[in-house]
Structures are given as structure tokens and as C-alpha cells.
Chain A
Amino acid sequence: MIVNLRRSFNIKMSNLTDLESELGELLITNLNLEDIKLEDIDSEVALFNEGLGLDSIDALELGMLLSTKYGIKLQSDDPDFARIFSSLRTLAVYVESNRTS
């Protein structure tokens, strides 16, 4: 809901919310995506496989980044595991509601 409101009033060219942009930057700088520009990333696009092409090692690295940057400790038994990593948007929603720093 909040995400949608922010989107409708977004004056930037990008379709990303602030947190989505922040996470996008995090991915690009840390996961060897230097050839991808932030404005090319759609918040709905899949992070793994056919989308941005990240693999399971990237997922682990992303998990570790979330822990250092936002204090989020994602565990392998989290029932929402697959959903969290499905796109930039789902990742942002998860970070927003679980961040401790």
C-alpha cells in the first residue's frame, strides 16, 4: 500500500522506491553486476536465473549483506525464503518489515 502511494507520487524517472534503489545499488556493487545500471532494473524482475541472473552463491552473499547492513538474520527454515528473493520489490518489503538497523 505504502509502496503503491510512493510510486504514484514518484517524480524520478526510475520506477523504484528509495529502499528498492538502495537494495539495487547493493546488488550491483557487491554481486558483480557492474554492467547493469540501476535505472535498467525493474522492481518486478526476477533476481535469480533468467532475471538478473544471480545464482545461489549470490543469494547467500545477499543474505550476509542484509545481516551486516540491516541487521536481518534470514534463516534457512524461514517459510517465506523463496518469496523474499523473488524480486527487488519482495526483497524491499521483507527488509522494510524486518530491519533492525
Chain B
Amino acid sequence: MSEWTDHAERSNTFTLKLICYIALNVSRGIARLLLWPITLYFFVSSAASRFASHQYLQRVPGYNGSAWEVIFHIHHFSAVILDRVYFLTDQFDRFKIDVYDEEQLDKVISQEKGAILLGSHVGSFEVLRCLALRRHKIPLKIMMYKNHNAMITRILDELNPEIAKSVINLANPTALFEMKETLEKGNLIGMLGDRVLKDEKKISCFFLGEEVNFPAGPFKLAEMLSVPVIGFFGIYTGGNRYEIHHKLLYDGQKIPRDQREKTINELMQKYVKSIEDNVKQHPYNWFNFYDYWEDKL
């Protein structure tokens, strides 16, 4: 994942386990109090994350990337990571979760031809993943590079081994074939659309004032396999509140070959626009703590 979690990895296996224990056996309130010293520790010790946050916030209208804003930004990230513990252990009742435009997902599911749920490192992916599993009773597999050695992965996997098994590891050469087989059964595939993976084809999109690379894969695959794409966001709005937003981006219709590249670029730009709309409204939900605009075509 990000530099932030790599860093957490090195120094803080004990803290992670302790927080996890307190979250599940003492209270969320106490665990949340501990997030402040942790936030300050990372603010002080991780110059790269601090700088990335500062640079990002400067791009958001109405924000200037001050030290306070950076601290709130890091705090939001740690709060969302903490809540993963509750979502993974199925404790949704603790939260007030407002779901918007869910009928778009229901409609796609009822067609039984599978669908791609396109998420991002904005807000909580876990709330979406766990809630989708619980509400729709339809299998959802997540495509990601899985670092089995990462302590945070191990700790969270232990909390819910069933969800851990529902990952398709992109490091595996057969990953996309597994994806195709999953969709052919009418099941759902979740993937993240805001980071370009190794060796992947890129699309340059306009995002918060500048061009930056996004992956061509999600819509290219959707078009090849004729499945719809729904953009979804699990936004943390403070306290115990989350908002889930769905947006149908592509209906799965074949695109004529001579227009394919252009259309796929436009679809991705449409998705990037919805990322931008969400982070402008909820700037502290952006969880890419590295120099995001550095990678250009």
C-alpha cells in the first residue's frame, strides 16, 4: 500500500495489534483517542507522506495544505483504517451509513451478467466490500496486489478469513482469467481505478488541475468482457458516519473498434471526474500519500 503503511509496518506491529485489541475488546472511543498520538507520530516521522498530503491539499479549492490540514488528513486515514476492523468483523450497527443510488447496483446485479465495481483510494473500500457482501448476498472478488508479508494484511486477514479468500491476486499470471470466470458466473469484481499498475497501459486524465496517469485496464476489460462498470465511493464524513455513492459509468455495450480507444479514454475521464467531485467535497478522504502527479505520460 502506501508509504504510510510501509512505515507503520517497520515501526509499529505492536501498536497495530494493540489498537486492534482495544478496538475489539475495549471501545472504539478509546481506540480513536489513540489515533491522535499515532497521527502526530506519523506527521513528525514521515516527511514524504507529509509532503504528499501538503501538495495534494494545495490543489483542492479552499484548502492550502497547512500543517493542521495535513494532520487532519492523516487522522482521517488512520480513523478509516481503524474502522476496517469493525467492518471486517461485521459490526455495521455501530455506524450510520447512508447509501445513495443503490438501485443502479441492484439493476446491474439483476441482469446476472456480472459487473465491475470500480473503487479507489478514496475513503473506505472496506465499508463497500463488506456491505456489498452482506446486502446483496452475491459473491464479490477484489483484484489487488497482495503482499502476504505485510503485517497489516495479516492482522486484518485474521479478522475475516472469508473476505481474505475473496481476493484475486494480480501478481498471479492467471488473475484476469479468474476475473473472467467470476464475471461469467454473474458475480461481481471489485477493482481500484486510481493507481497505474506495473506494465499496465495508461490513460492521461485531467485531475485537480493537471494531467496524471490512470489505468486503461478497468474499462478495457469491461468492454472486452461486455460487463457494466459502476463507480463506487465509501466516503468517511467524521464520527461514525459513512456515505456510499454508486454511479453507473458504462453499461457493457460493445464499442466499435475504431472508436474503442477514444471511448475508453472518455469513460476513464468520466470516472476521474467523479473522484475529483468526491475529494473536492471531502478532501481528507484522499488516501494516496505519495507524489501522485509525478507519474505523467
Contact yes or no, A57 B201, CB < 8 A = yes
Contact yes or no, A76 B199, CB < 8 A = no
Q: What's the A-B contact tally at a CB cutoff of 8 Å?
A: 41
In the bound complex, CA of A64 to CA of B180 (Å): 10
Contact yes or no, B177 A63, CB < 8 A = yes
Contact yes or no, A57 B220, CB < 8 A = yes
Q: Which residues of B contact A76 (CB under 8 A)?
A: 174-175, 177-178, 181
Mask, A24-59, CB within 8 Å of B = 1, is 000000000000000000000000010000011101
In the bound complex, CA of A64 to CA of B177 (Å): 10
Most buried by A among B175, B176, B217, B224: B176
- B162 on the A face (CB < 8 A): no
Q: Which residues of A contact B249 (CB under 8 A)?
A: none
A11 vs chain B, min Cβ distance (A): 36
Q: Which residues of A contact B224 (CB under 8 A)?
A: 57, 60-61, 64
In the bound complex, CA of A81 to CA of B177 (Å): 10
- A95 on the B face (CB < 8 A): no
Contacts A49-B199, A64-B224 given; indicate if A56 touches B181 (C-beta within 8 A): no
Q: Which residues of B contact A55 (CB under 8 A)?
A: 199-201
In the bound complex, CA of A38 to CA of B117 (Å): 39
Contacts A57-B217, A60-B221, A64-B224 given; indicate if A74 touches B201 (C-beta within 8 A): no
Q: Which residues of A contact B238 (CB under 8 A)?
A: none
- A5 on the B face (CB < 8 A): no
Contact yes or no, B220 A74, CB < 8 A = no
Q: Which residues of A contact B175 (CB under 8 A)?
A: 56, 76
Mask, B197-241, CB within 8 Å of A = 1, is 001110000000000000001001100100000000000000000
| 8 closest residue pairs by CB, A with B | A76-B177, A76-B174, A60-B176, A76-B178, A56-B176, A81-B174, A55-B199, A82-B173
Taking Cβ atoms with an 8 Å cutoff, the residues of B that contact A are 173-178, 180-181, 199-201, 217, 220-221, 224
Enumerate 25 A-B pairs (CB-CB under 8 Å) in ascending A order: A49-B199, A55-B201, A56-B176, A56-B199, A57-B176, A57-B201, A57-B224, A59-B176, A59-B177, A60-B180, A60-B221, A60-B224, A63-B177, A63-B180, A64-B224, A74-B177, A75-B177, A75-B181, A76-B174, A76-B175, A76-B177, A76-B181, A77-B174, A81-B177, A82-B173
Taking Cβ atoms with an 8 Å cutoff, the residues of A that contact B are 49, 55-57, 59-61, 63-64, 74-77, 81-82, 85
